[in-house]
Amino acid sequence: MKKRILFLSLIFLISLASASCKKISKESENKEVILTSFTVLADIIDNLAKDEFIVRSLTKPGVEVHGYKPTPSDLVKASNAFVFVDNGFGFELWAEKFVSNLKVKRITVAEDLDPIFVTEDFYKGKPNPHAWISPKRGILYVDILVESLSELRPSKREIFEENGRIYKDKLSKIDEEFSLFINNLDEDRRYLVSCEGAFSYLTSDYGMKEVYLWPVNAESQITPRRMARTISIVKNKNIPTVFCESTVSDESQMVVVRETGAKFGGDLFVDSLSVDGGPASTYIKMLEHNLHLIKKGLY
């Protein structure tokens, strides 16, 4: 038993050492750093840039991004970065102030996207920020970011475009599978009930109806009226399963579960990836995880 523990510790230490060597060797080549506002963007860009840049996310996995408060060390990181990439559409409430004192290039993906607008509350009339949550829009993110990377480094355009093609093939496969599922699902079962109204792009792109407890995390709160509305829709439409998201408490959705008899389908990932080894440690895994839970819940 002791030997086994010793052996496992050794394996662990070796893997730690090789991980840090990898990091050092990548950084020692003096590559420029692309700093993103959140983990989803960092992962997409890392798949497109591969070895051309070091890509990092300012916010860590699992963190609530909308109302994030940047730290002094975040400012240092950003001032040393080559470019700062954010989503836009008001997702990062802190981004304007954060970049205003920095002399760093900025790329905002949403400047090239068509918005879906929030229809109520503090955010009424403003774009819903969560466009990446639909695989169809994810493909647009790739096109926008391939173009941005190519403008940053024109000599590598072909490499970025090829990486983009490979990555988009994976997204297209996810898109096709989910479309097929929805097309075979009775129309009266095509409801997605979540905590945050973060699925407007997904529901709009795939002909589903969206029901949520509050429109946007940060500033929005659950109210008795919203709770009653959600309970009434879930009951009246006989919706079998409701969901919540990984970065917020599912306490309120559990009230809906108790009041309606619907099942709780699990936590969907939206605003942040999971840590390594979690169910949504990459953007592709995040989409697969979400769509798998939705299929399982609605079938």
Contact 98, 167 (CB under 8 A): no
- How far, in Å, are 43, 100, 266 from residue 286 at the CA level? 11, 32, 13
Q: Which stretch binds Zn ion (CB under 5 A): 55-63, 168-176, 195-203, 204-212?
A: 195-203
Residues 6 or more apart whose Cβ sits within 8 Å of residue 228:
none
As a whole number of angstroms, the distance between CA 4 and CA 10 comes to: 10
In the chain the first and final C-alpha atoms are separated, in Å, by 46
Complex with Zn ion: residue 217 or 253, whichever CB lies closer: 217
Contact 277, 43 (CB under 8 A): no
Q: How far is the CB of 115 from Zn ion (least distance, A)?
A: 14
Q: Which stretch binds Zn ion (CB under 5 A): 4-12, 151-159, 196-204, 232-240?
A: 196-204
With CB under 5 A, what is the number of residues at the site for Zn ion?
3
Q: Between 248 and 277, how does the x/- string for binding to Zn ion read (CB under 5 A)?
A: -----------------------x------
Contact between 43 and Zn ion by CB under 5 A: the answer reads no
Q: How far is the CB of 144 from Zn ion (least distance, A)?
A: 20
As a whole number of angstroms, the distance between CA 193 and CA 173 comes to: 25
Complex with Zn ion: residue 33 or 63, whichever CB lies closer: 63
Complex with Zn ion: residue 219 or 251, whichever CB lies closer: 219
Q: Which of 217, 220, 281, 290 binds Zn ion (CB under 5 A)?
A: 217
DSSP output for 107-119:
EEGGGGS---B--
Footprint of Zn ion (CB under 5 A):
198, 217, 271
